[in-house]
């Protein structure tokens, strides 16, 4: 498989007068979907289905099938179908250290792999890095069964690209959603130099504070360091708690500023 845009096509569809884009974010603890108009890019529908508890990988496609059958009108003409795989089975490698034959070797330091795991890689050209990951193969197969094609990436790949398109004036970026916190740090003097990116499990607001302080300390960042936090929460409690520890933090709600639907 070639590195870069992951595109699987089994059959060709005719373009209808009204065409839509479908973006799915799939994980073992939630599924989100965004339907937008192909021409205007206007968001038509958004929903998120959160599971009661984390589920095993083999059951994810069943949950997705329920979403496709109950939540989505699969008779709609979707011109583009994109799925973002949200899991911890990934590793970001600078181009100079990347070698396709070493994908499994590098990935095993960051994830527990099975011998038959399918591995693929996204390019993030602006940063001169690659994101190697294990997709949910059963999810891709199900979408091919329904729509005939699917374009797929790791969620972190698209999140990082979105950051550079929308918030590149911040060198410290954080994103939190569904008990996950992702932190990205770039060089103040060289924005296309990635210093740090990682994903953390969180359960309470103090976890967010802890990891933000930990990363700030790791890179000796001052109290006046600008931080932007994208969150699904508009909780005043979270805002007040973070303001006690950070002097220069900006909050954005991703549903209000359409952060996710344009991934």
Per-residue pLDDT, averaged over 24-46, amounts to 90
Residue that wins the pLDDT comparison between 178 and 54: 54
Measure the CA–CA gap between 172 and 221, rounded to whole angstroms: 10
SS3 49: strand
In the chain the domains, ranked by start, together with CATH numbers, are 6-88+122-157 (3.30.420.250), 167-253 (3.30.420.260)
- Reported as a pLDDT band with limits 50, 70 and 90, residue 41 is confident
List phi, psi (to 5°) of 137.
-60, -35
Tens of pLDDT, residue by residue over 164-201, are 888 877 899 999 987 899 999 998 887 788 999 999 99
pLDDT at residue 259 tops 70: no
Largest pairwise CA distance in the chain: 56
Candidates 21, 103, 89, 19; CA nearest to 60 is 89
Measure the CA–CA gap between 209 and 215, rounded to whole angstroms: 10
- Reported as a pLDDT band with limits 50, 70 and 90, residue 128 is very high
36-51: string of b/e by CB count within 10 Å (b at 16+)? bebeeeebeeeeeeee
Q: What is the pTM of this model?
A: 0.88
pLDDT at 239: 86
pLDDT at residue 13 tops 50: no
H or E stretch at 82: strand 78-85
Candidates 52, 48, 51; CA nearest to 71 is 48
């Amino acid at each position: 498989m070639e590195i870069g845009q992951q595109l699987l096509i089994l059959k060709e569809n005719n373009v209808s007068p009204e065409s839509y884009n479908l973006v799915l974010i799939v994980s073992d603890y939630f599924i989100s979907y965004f339907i937008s108009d192909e021409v205007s890019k206007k968001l038509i529908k958004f929903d998120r289905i959160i599971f009661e508890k984390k589920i095993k990988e083999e059951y994810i496609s069943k949950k997705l099938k329920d979403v496709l059958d109950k939540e989505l009108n699969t008779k709609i003409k979707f011109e583009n179908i994109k799925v973002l795989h949200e899991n911890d089975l990934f590793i970001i490698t600078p181009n100079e250290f990347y070698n396709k034959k070493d994908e499994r070797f590098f990935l095993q330091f960051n994830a527990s792999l099975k011998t038959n795991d399918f591995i693929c890689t996204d390019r993030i050209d602006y940063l001169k890095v690659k994101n190697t990951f294990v997709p949910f193969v059963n999810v891709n197969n199900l979408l091919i069964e329904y729509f005939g094609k699917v374009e797929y990436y790791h969620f972190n790949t698209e999140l990082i690209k979105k950051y550079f398109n929308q918030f590149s004036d911040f060198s410290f970026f954080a994103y939190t959603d569904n008990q996950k916190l992702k932190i990205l740090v770039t060089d103040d003097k060289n924005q296309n130099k990635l210093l740090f990116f990682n994903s953390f499990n969180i359960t309470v607001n103090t976890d967010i504070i802890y990891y933000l302080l930990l990363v700030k300390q790791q890179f000796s960042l001052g109290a006046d360091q600008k931080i932007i936090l994208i969150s699904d929460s508009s909780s005043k409690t979270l805002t007040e708690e973070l303001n006690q520890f950070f002097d220069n933090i900006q909050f954005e709600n991703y549903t209000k500023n359409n952060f996710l639907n344009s991934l």
